[in-house]
Amino acid sequence: MKRLCLRNRRVLRVAVIVAAALLTPAVQALEADVRLKWFSTSSVLPDHDIQRVQSHTPLQDHSADMRIMFKHQWGRVQLLMDHSTVLFSGDTAALDAGRDVSLDQTVSEDSRRWVDLTWHIAEGNRHSSFHRLDRLAAQWQPGDWSITLGRQALSWGSGIVFQPMDLFSPFSPTVVDRDYKAGDDLLLIDRLLANGQDLQLLHVVRRDEDRDVTSRVSSTALKWHGYLGAVEFEAVAARHYDEPVAALSMRMPVGTALLRSDVVASRDLQGDWRVSGLLNADYSFTLGQRNTYVFAEYFHNGWGISELAAPLQLPEELQMRLERGELFNLMRNYLALGATFEWHPLVNQNLTVISNLHDSSSLLQVQFSYSPGDNQSLQAGWIEPLGRAGDEFGGVPLLPAADGGLVTTGGAGRAYLRWVYYL
């Protein structure tokens, strides 16, 4: 009870500080928006899935999220605050399988962030609820400089499905809700140069497994962004989790299409360099007077393995990156193809296929989107794994089964429904 009271005091202190900053005489500069979201999934587990042994199929899961977004301009200083209240309910919570497996990739705790801004409301056998501050930052913009301090989101790189250059909370390839990235506790200094180029200096603060703030788990990076003719470049030099990282990103037009490439080199624990990268292109056109968009993306995972076997034993450094949420795939080479077709100005259909080039398994995602207005959208879709037990997308092998088969995880077909409304 004493700990709960202390946490409530922290909530109150944060609320008072933010309110004091926002409720200045220039109230007319205050902007406030609200997003309501409902997300439901139904997962059909194959017979060889480990969760099928523990439970039943299909698994039903639901989440509700109210995100309140404040923005306040005070001269050259802009204050940002996004507060979310989230409710989870369903079979995954009952199995204690973790919320990170959900398709909306909702962040539910801050154990590794510098400041713990998540507070749990209630927790039961099949449900849990919490509220958290996903943005809490101040941005100062004197002239050609911009300095951001606090919890804010950052995206680097040119990936469409995969993001090897985005080291700070990248999206999973199959995530549905991409409206808002998770924020990190950071200091970002941005300098716009006279020639149109810009430099960014970034420092992200994290805590280790003992809740200590150390450089061993933090990140410091310098990024240059500029142009050489029609080609846009980004170059990054970083120290990430106490490891050196160098990256280069390129974007260039090819006719009416856009070609992009990211290359990221990181040094492993043995002192060797591992290189990851992607190459993609996308193109928009009209087909039968309907807007159409297509893309293709090749991804090489320098930390991946070339074969899966039971019992599953992953290399230590691959496992670390999976746990940190930097990677979501186990093997080395992938190809993603996708298309969006506008059936009606209010109705779109998306089709994405992600293929593992080692075991030939694939993941098929089909989604229909209906947007009756600028403030509302509804998406319904299906994700179907195409592969055998033991393939990455057919079901990652965990253990040999008693009948000579395999016990696997991750091979479920999933239907989802997502509704979003902005007030």
Q: What is the DSSP string of 26-69?
A: -GGGEEEEEEEEEEEEEEE--TTBHHHHHS-SSEEEEEEEEEEE
User: What would the mean pLDDT of 304-328 be, rounded to a whole number?
Assistant: 92
- Per-residue confidence (pLDDT) for residue 26, from 0 to 100: 46
In the chain, helix, strand, coil percent, each to 5?
Answer: 10, 55, 35
List the structure tokens of 238.
Answer: 């970083």
Q: In the numeric block, which tokens belong to residue 171? A: 């999206």
Q: What is the mean pLDDT of residues 72-91?
A: 94
pLDDT score, position 51: 85
Q: How many CB atoms lie within 10 A of CB 111?
A: 10
Q: What is the pLDDT of residue 287?
A: 94
90 sits in which H/E element? strand 77-90
Helix (H, G, I), strand (E, B) or coil at 78: strand
Residue ranges of the alpha helices (H) in 132-230?
Answer: none
Question: Per-residue pLDDT tens for 152-184?
Answer: 999 999 999 999 999 988 999 989 888 999 999
Structure confidence at residue 8 (pLDDT): 42
> Mind listing the domains of the chain with CATH numbers?
2-422 (2.40.160.10)
Mean pLDDT across the stretch 136-161? 96
Check pLDDT > 60 for residue 235. Answer: yes
Mean pLDDT of 344-356: 97
What are 91-132's pLDDT values in tens digits? 877 766 544 445 678 888 898 999 999 999 998 888 899 999
Label residue 54 by pLDDT band (50, 70, 90).
Answer: confident
- Rounded CA gap, 279 and 233, in Å? 14
394 pLDDT above the threshold of 70: yes
**pLDDT of amino acid 103:** 60
Q: Which are the contacts of 27, defined by CB distance < 8 A and separation ≥ 6?
A: none
Say if pTM beats, i.e. exceeds, 0.85. yes
